[in-house]
Amino acid sequence: MILLMSDNILLQLSPLRNHVPQFDKIREEDFKPATLAAIAEARANIDAIINNPAPATFDNTIVALETASETLGSVTGIFYNQLSAAGTDGLQALAEEIGPVQANFGSDIILNEQLFARVKAVYDARGSLTLNTEQQTLLDDTYKNFVRGGALLDEARKAELRKINESMSTLGPVFANNVKKSAESFTLWIENEADLDGLPPTSIEGAKQEATEKGQPDKWLFTLDYPSFGPFMTFSARRDLREKIWKANSNKAYGDSYDNSANLLKIIELRHQRAQLLGYATHAEYVLERRMAEKPARVMEFLTELRDLYKIGALKDLEALKSFAAADGIIDLKPWDVGYYSEKLRQNMYAFSSEDFRPYFPLDKVLKGTFDHFSKLFGLKFTAAKDLPVWHEDVTAYDVTDVASGAFVGTLYADFYPRSGKKPGAWMTSYRDQGLFHGKVERPVTAIVCNFTKPVGDKPSLLDHDEVLTLFHEMGHATHGLLANGTYPSQTGTNVLWDFVELPSQVQENWLYEAETLNSFAAHYESGEKIPAELIEKLRAAKNFMSGWMGLRQMGMSILDMLWHTADPSMMSDIIAFEDEAMKGAALFPRYGGPLSVSFNHIFAGGYSAGYYSYKWAEVLDADTFEAFLEAGLYDTATAQRYRREVLERGGSEHPSILYRRFRGRDADPNALLRREGLVGAAK
């Protein structure tokens, strides 16, 4: 393999532990020359594969191809992760430059006839090769990736596909940036303290700090960042202000200078063109060929059946809300009333508020409890690595080791607070997957990135229960990456079929309704008192509160995604009309704001196109998985180790249905989800 010698920090093998990025030395201006140089290196490596006079073998072609672009993967991995976590205007401009160059290089590889001929030669001889399961999967995936990437097309169609790939390379980052910029452009300034009626102290203190940081210490500032927006919609007694901030959130990237309407339609058009060029009827057909669900019809059947079940509960939820709000003088319930009155109704029914939990969830104690939880399950130890550089002062790096053996497991970064330029939401990401790197099998470098409530003054960051759920969810993804045990990076960690990837994350949320787990870390940030047993019981009793409503919303979004990617784009021009038709079976209110689609980052700027259903698909798996722990014990060592060994460590080395059967001894029981949500029978 050809390796670069360069003064560019991004092109040097990091001397730091686990070869983690040297964040303290990376500059924005390093990315473009590093990308170009890494592409040149990768081209030379590809040429060496093509020009090898020896017959094509698994090692000299398939493995050589797997590692040929590792420097490029490292450079662009750092770049795109920083674009999400610290997206300056400079990084955004670079994304629009780098994207097409990288896309063209990808096309050069996948459309190279000589390279494909060598890959095909190995694939055609697979029956006579002595390969283990991981190697067989790598060979199969490599061949299929070439075919799905256009290797069998004629030259004219290859040229057309290349143009499509180049155009698509910039649209996703532009779409996401518009959502971010549009959200950041909204501010709700409060000057009269009476207008804060109903808001919890943590929300008020956070708004005061936001305003002070903006040079207005006598006011309060609310934004569309979830730690600001969420509590406002849930607790503000000012209906008119709830309407204002709700409509601002609903109209993100619509009708302003960051309008995504044209970008959305272009993305849909290009995806459809690519699918048809490759021989598929729709983008959904193309995507689902490499998913557990396999076909759009199967996904739609799954979604519509659940939608109809959830709708029964959602209509009951709506009637209960309307009746409760009517007693408060609200006879025309609107969407911006739902969060407010559902919280009041929950307080009325279960005698607790979501804010009652916040004092018991200081982030430092929650994080320690999270680490302890994953230690009890999987035998992991998390040690703050203060010597490793980070990309922002709020970020902490951790060395992860195996308690039993003392072996190094990987590197984890944690980045918890909102800031300007940072993408909203929460996610786990990888800076380097487990596997071959510079000729050796190296351990992974992962990160979890969130937007939690910030500390205010001397008061620590206090999370609500939903934020703790988010932390466990993202750590579930992180352990999937960290515990990977394979040779080839494209087969390890979260590199699995997309409708399986949410199992390791979603299953972790279940423990946060169990007293054994909550009692292990939840303690009042001032007194140190444990969370009251009666409060935990109330949480458990209210677990399925509004589950019909929330389930129906998720089904609507999933169906919307599928219809965007199964319909003929030539018939689309009116985004609102299309969305309303798609959502009509799940919408319980008329439209009062802009279309959801123009800010739907998951499907238009993330990896979930024709795949948003995978959250609910994985819920079937996670409900069934957790029942195994309920049967054996929440922290049963044998069950946890079997799950670690058969699911987490195996990554994408085999089909997930095979991995799941090895763990559970059978296929997942679809009724496990219905039992958990109280839709059928009783939970085991």
On the question of pLDDT at 3 being above 70, the answer is: no
**Taking residues 606-616, what's their average pLDDT?**
93
Q: Which of 41, 355, 474, 619 is catalytic?
A: 474
On the question of pLDDT at 368 being above 70, the answer is: yes
- pLDDT single digits (tens) 487-531: 999 999 999 998 899 999 999 999 999 999 999 999 999 999 999
Q: What is the dihedral of CA 110, 115, 120, 125, to 10 degrees?
A: -140
**Amino acid (1-letter code) at residue 504:** P
The confidence score (pLDDT) of residue 1 equals 45
**Taking residues 567-583, what's their average pLDDT?**
94
Task: Map out the domains of the chain with their CATH numbers.
Answer: 9-110+112-152 (1.20.1050.40), 186-250 (no CATH), 359-531 (1.10.1370.40)
- pLDDT single digits (tens) 410-463: 999 999 999 888 888 899 999 999 999 999 999 999 999 999 988 888 889 999
Q: What angle do CA 294, 295, 299 make, to 5 degrees?
A: 100
Is there a catalytic annotation at residue 160? no
On the question of pLDDT at 557 being above 80, the answer is: yes
- pLDDT single digits (tens) 263-276: 999 999 999 999 99
Burial of 89 (0-12, 13-18, 19+ CB in 10 A): exposed
The per-residue b/e assignment along 625-641, b for 16 or more CB within 10 angstroms, e otherwise, is bbbbbeeeebebeebbe
Cβ atoms of 302 and 617 closer than 8 Å: yes
The confidence score (pLDDT) of residue 354 equals 87
- pLDDT single digits (tens) 464-482: 999 999 999 999 999 999 9
- pLDDT single digits (tens) 614-661: 999 999 999 999 999 999 999 999 999 999 999 999 999 999 999 999
- pLDDT single digits (tens) 27-73: 999 999 999 999 999 999 999 999 999 999 999 999 999 999 999 99
Q: What is the pTM for the complete model shown?
A: 0.90
On the question of pLDDT at 4 being above 80, the answer is: no
Half-sphere exposure for 23 (CA within 13 Å, toward CB): 20
- pLDDT single digits (tens) 85-144: 987 889 989 998 999 999 999 999 999 999 999 999 999 999 999 999 999 999 999 999
On the question of pLDDT at 684 being above 90, the answer is: no
On the question of pLDDT at 5 being above 80, the answer is: no
- pLDDT single digits (tens) 223-263: 999 889 999 999 999 999 999 999 999 999 999 999 999 99
On the question of pLDDT at 682 being above 60, the answer is: no
1-10, 182-191, 486-495, 594-603: which has the minimum mean pLDDT? 1-10
Cβ atoms of 389 and 22 closer than 8 Å: yes
Find where tokens 């054994």 sit: 516
Confidence of residue 683 (pLDDT cuts 50, 70, 90): very low
- pLDDT single digits (tens) 170-223: 999 999 999 999 999 999 999 999 999 999 999 999 999 999 999 999 999 999
- pLDDT single digits (tens) 376-421: 999 999 999 999 999 999 999 999 999 999 999 999 999 999 988 8
C-alpha distances out from residue 503 to 498, 552, 660, Å = 10, 20, 10
**Taking residues 334-362, what's their average pLDDT?**
95
Burial of 624 (0-12, 13-18, 19+ CB in 10 A): buried
Extract the tokens encoding 137.
Answer: 């999967």
Cβ atoms of 442 and 16 closer than 8 Å: no
